[in-house]
Structure formats: C-alpha cells, structure tokens
Chains A and B, each alone.
Chain A
Amino acid sequence: MEKFTAFESWVAVLPVDNIDTDQIIPARFLKTVSKEGLGDQLFYDWRYDADGNPRPDFVLNRPPGNRAQVLLAGDNFGCGSSREHAPWALTQFGFRAVISTSFADIFKGNALKNALLPIVVPPEIHARLLKMLETDPLATVRVDLASQTLTLPDGTPVEFPVDSFAKTCLLEGIDELGFLLKHEAEIAAFEQTHPAPVDTLSVKFED
C-alpha cells in the first residue's frame, strides 16, 4: 500500500446528513467482480440525469468539486451497507479524505483500509468550514495525518482523532493482512484450545 502523505486541496461540499452507501455507489453497480472502474459510478444517481448526462449543478460535475481530494459531507456519512465499493469509488474519483461530524462504523473501517481518511470534526468546526467554503468555494484545506491536523482555509489548525494503528498503517504503508499473517502461531494455538462450534463440512447435502 502507498504511504499516506500530507496534502492541500479544494473541497467538494455535499452538506447532506446520513449519506448512505447506496447513494455513494448504487447497488446495481455491485455486480462487478472487479475493484476497478468505480470512480465514474460515484454518486451516480445524484450526478447524472435519467439519460446519463452529467447534471451541471451537482458538486462533482463542476470545479472545484470535480478536482477536489477532500469531500465535506453531513453527519453520519457512509451509513447503510458494508460495501467496500463505496471507498473504492471515492478514491478512484480522486478523494483522499472525507470530513464529517461522524461516520458509520463499517464505512470508517473500510475507508481506512483504502487510504481514504475519515476526518471527524466537532459540529462548530463543521459549520465554520461550511461557511468559509460558501464565501469562497475555491478555498483550500490542508490535511496532515502525521500531526492529525486539518488546517482550515483561514489557517486555523484543527486536530482530529485517528485510531493509532490505522494511522501507523497509513503512514508507513503497512498492509493489515500482512500483519495478521504474522500471528499464525498465536492463531494456531488459539484453535487448539477452542474447538469449532460448527464444522461446515460435516454435513453433506444430497443435492
């Protein structure tokens, strides 16, 4: 995995609460067996009209939203299904961070595994940033994971929480599966003392 570095970016503003993963990427695009090609389907039903033409007023279809690496969204972003296609679509579009007042649990975990940083800020900061971007849509923010700092357009530094292990993984490009595999001995020892409650291979069905 690539290392997560600090960056400065425009902000795409989508001030809606409870944006669910069905909006981020509608289920009909989940029939793919690949991880690729999902960026074009991001927010599909909000982004395109019935004939598949981009809606010119949608934030991702116009500057600076179309080139922003940061998305500012309402509370409880990413609720709904566990589809990892949601962070895949967001990162393939170009996003590296999402700012909200809270994130749904499964989405947050999925995002961190895909170098998409969920940044939780208090409601006052969220409202302030929203105001600043209303006044100047071309204003930029800076995201620095190492110091866990989001710098607002007016220079105010805002500290944000990140799980320390996820932070290390992102900064050093560590992959979680590699980490898990190193614990083979402990896993095997656990299995010795914890017999399977169910053996899924134990029943053979006649059909």
Chain B
Amino acid sequence: MSQPRTIIQKLWDSHVVCQPPGAPALLYIDLHLVHEVTSPQAFDGLRRRGLKVRRPDRTFGTCDHSTPTTPRDLPIVDPVARAQVEQFEKNCREFGIPFFGFRSPRQGIVHVIGPEYGLTQPGMTIVCGDSHTATHGAFGALAFGIGTSQVEHVLATQCLLQSPSKSFNVRVDGHLRPGVTAKDIILALIAKIGVGGGTGCVFEYTGSAIRALSMEERMTVCNMSIEGGARAGLIAPDDTTFEFLHGRPFAPKGAAWDRAVAYWKTLPTDEGAVYDREVTLDASQLEPMITYGTNPGMGIPISAPVPDPGEAADPVERETRRKALAYMGLEPGKPLAGHPVDVVFIGSCTNSRMTDLRAAASVLKGRKVNPRVRVLVVPGSQQIKRQAEAEGLDRIFREAGAEWREAGCSMCIAMNGDQLAPGEYAVSTSNRNFEGRQGKGGRTFLASPLTAAASAVTGVVTDPRTLLG
C-alpha cells in the first residue's frame, strides 16, 4: 500500500512534468483562464519573443474587470477601459484563444463562467491572472492565482515553475443556523486565522458543514481562500459536484462521463493522510459575520462590538488597527449593527450566483429599499442574469428600488465606473474591504447577501435574522 495522500498531494503528483535539478518542478496546467486586466503585457511578451500560445485549446478568455455593467448596446465610455477590452479581444483572436467578448451573451466574471460552462472540473490544475482563482477549487481542482509573468509562462509553455505548498485542513462541522451562510463560514475562518494565516498553504475544506453546502456555496468559501493568505483552497468532489457538472457544455458526455466520474472518485484525501496544519470551526456556533476594518481578517459576529486596537500586543499591529478604524470612521466598543449605510453591493465572484441572488431576493421581496441607500445587484454572468430574469428576481429587485445591472466585477474592484464616493459606507458581498477598493475613500463592510439585503431595507447595518420570516 502506498503512503496515504491528501487530495492536494494527489493533484500535485499527477501534474508534475519533471523536476529539473536545482529548480522548482514544472507543473502542468490543464486550464488557463485569461481576462483583460492581467494579460495584455503577457501577450506583448509573446509577441516580442515571437512565441505562439502553446495550447489555445486549454485556454479560455472573458472580460469582466474593467467591463461596464451598463446596457451592452452602449459603448464603453472610459477610453482607457475601452482600449483594454478591445486589446483583449484582439489578443484572443490573434492567438486563437476562445473567449466571451464584451458583447457576448455569455460574458461574465472569469470565476463564474468557468464552472458555469463546465470548463472547471475535478482533478484539474487551473490558473488565472487573478487571486480569486481558488474559487474553482470548490470542484476539487488545484486552482490558484498567478502574476502576469506567469500568465506569459503558461501561454507559452502550459507550465509553471512551482514548489509544493503546505496542506492546511480547515475542518468545519455542525449545522449552520438560519440566516448564517457560507459567506459567514469563510469570514469567520479569516477572522480566526488572520489574513496571513494560510500563507504558504493550500486549504482543504472538510467536515460535515462543508459537505452540506451546494456548489455555489462551496465556491463562496473557496473564493476567499486568498483572504486567509492561502493561494488555493479546495473541496474534494462528491455527488454534489458531479450533479452540478453533469450536462454542462464542456463536461464529458456518455462513456467519457462515466470514466471521468470514476477518476474523480479517486481524488478525495486518503484515510490517514497527514496535513501540515489544521484548524476547526463549529458551524453551529456561527453568527452572521461582518468586517469592520480595512482587511478581511478584521471581521466580527454582527452583534459583537468593534474591537479596541489597544488590545493588540504588537505596536505595529496596534497602529495598523488604529489606522483602519480611523479610515473607517468607527469607534471601538460599539457594534456595527445600526451603522448607517449609503450603498449596498450584491455581486462579485464571491456572491453573484443564482443562490446568492435568490437569497437577496428572499429578503427584498415585497419590501422597499431605504430611500437613502443605492443598491446595485450585479449578476456574475449574462447567463445568470437571464436565469434570474426567468425566475422573476429582477422584478423583485427593481420593485424594491435596487438597480439590476449587466454582468461584471463592478463595484468589487471599482475599475468600470461603478464605485463609492469618498467617505461612503457600503455593505458589500464582495471579498475585499481594503482602503479604496470600492472607490477612492470608500468604506466597505463585507457580509453575506442576506446581511447586505437586510441592510438595504433598513438603511443601516442589519442582522438579517431580524427580517427573516
């Protein structure tokens, strides 16, 4: 019997091309996703060296980051963003890469469309010039973000020079209580281990609470692995995974499907395999979470007071926390619940899928958004937008007074014109509350779609459990 292995080790072992002496291993990449922001310099690099894309058949593109979420028959107003999107489409055409362009009815956030079309499958290595690539780990893939130099490496060779990461078992057991969601699990984890807690590691999320999640919810959890410092995070595939994938355009068909499932069933971590690190969370103890500071680790249960920076032992940490509260305009000792909100953003690769939109709609149905709050609902893809419209969710949002927009990253990164004004407060379902992330001077509270929708109704940060039927 060979040594028991984690799924992380299995994925690594099956993708090592060779191990040159004195260098990291060459790791083969099964799927490379590209978008407009982190690829242009890589394509330029290829041109300068006279190289082709080695495997356009393992590469797929979409535009999302600087893409406006205004109606698609309008031109892109910002000339710099327009040039970037046009350059992206030109690069894909020139190098033979299939892509969903700005006007494609299938365009969407790169981490949403991969799973949606069945491009993302268990057992794969997946990279993208984007740190939230870990989203695809929800399917039992080793998926991580890379920089533009590495985008060029993968375009040219389909390989990366890579050293193995440590394995980190994040075990979540117990039942989530009503009003508590997958987003609250991941925010609670990051609050517990800190934004650097998983540095050098790949998370494997295990335990009964993880098994009970839908694929959409698993994606929400894996998505924010990077906010815990881990470059990748994954969940072993199971029947939930296979059911989600079956029948998607790129999923295997017929006999190939059966062979694939048989292989996928060999992927889960072997009994007795050892992880380098472990942490446990009790899902049944979790409350809705919300962040109060300027990194995703600064999160608290919604009923808890904002912690006092003076409690930090280390002087640099103390100063960092003071600076965060000063930026946020918050006082320690007070809970966030009841704090006025100017904007609510429901979207991003963390929370823009059907289950997220349905959750938000369940709160907004038959209610009105507080008139001083601007609410943006931005579906993760044009396909999701159509499905939501077929289910009538768009009407619920519009009738409540929310904006229903086209797909894209939108106010998650504020590159496309959707942004906070200086000083504004937002409850956002996205993944980063860094200073200025949602617009220069803007202040972000990260939370679940339920919390965001509840806060939209009341105009202040609100525990969604107070509005649930």
Chain A positions near chain B (C-beta within 8 angstroms): 15-18, 20, 22-23, 26-28, 30-35, 45, 50, 74-76, 79-84, 87, 102-106, 109-110, 113-114, 123, 130, 163-165, 168, 176-177, 179-181, 183-184, 186-187, 190-191, 194, 196-203, 205, 207
Contacts and interface: CB of A to CB of B under 8 A. Distances in A.
Contact of B131 (A17, A106, A196): A106
Contacts of B149: 84, 110, 113-114, 176-177
B131 A80 contact: yes
B296 to A, nearest CB: 9
A15 B314 CA distance: 12
Nearest to B295: A18
Interface string B429-463: 00010111100110000000000000000000000
Given A106-B145, A187-B159, A196-B30, 5 more contacts: A23-B434, A31-B81, A82-B130, A187-B157, A197-B124
B146 A82 contact: yes
A105 B200 contact: yes
A17 B161 contact: no
A200 B147 contact: no
A110 B195 contact: no
A79 B117 CA distance: 30
A17 B124 CA distance: 35
Interface stretch (B17-25, B208-216, B269-277, B329-337): B17-25
Contacts of A201: 56-57, 98
B440 A79 contact: no
6 contacts: A23-B434, A83-B37, A106-B145, A177-B156, A200-B98, A200-B119
B161 to A, nearest CB: 6
Contacts of A190: 17-18, 28
Given A102-B199, A186-B26, A80 B157 contact: no
A80 B159 contact: no
Nearest to A184: B157
- The 9 A-B pairs of least Cβ separation, nearest first, read A76-B196, A33-B40, A84-B147, A110-B147, A82-B145, A17-B320, A84-B148, A82-B131, A22-B434
B156 A31 contact: no
Contacts of B23: 165, 179
Given A31-B78, A33-B40, A109 B150 contact: yes
Contacts of B200: 105
A205 to B, nearest CB: 6
Interface residues of B, number: 91
B357 to A, nearest CB: 23
Contact of B58 (A23, A81, A181, A196): A196
B288 interface: no
B26 A23 contact: no
Contacts of A105: 165, 199-200, 229, 231
A106 B147 contact: yes
A205 B106 contact: yes
A81 B130 contact: yes
B24 A198 contact: no
A201 to B, nearest CB: 5
Contacts of A84: 38, 41, 147-149
Contacts of B152: 177
A130 B149 CA distance: 33
Contacts of A163: 24, 163
B282 interface: no
Contacts of A177: 45, 49, 149, 152-153, 156-157
A1 to B, nearest CB: 11
B80 interface: yes
Contact of B57 (A104, A130, A199): A199
A81 B415 CA distance: 14
Given A27-B413, A186-B17, A16 B145 contact: no
Nearest to B148: A84
Contacts of A30: 37, 65-66, 415
B159 A180 contact: yes
Contact of A23 (B14, B24, B130, B435): B435
B124 A198 contact: yes
B316 A17 contact: yes
B141 to A, nearest CB: 9
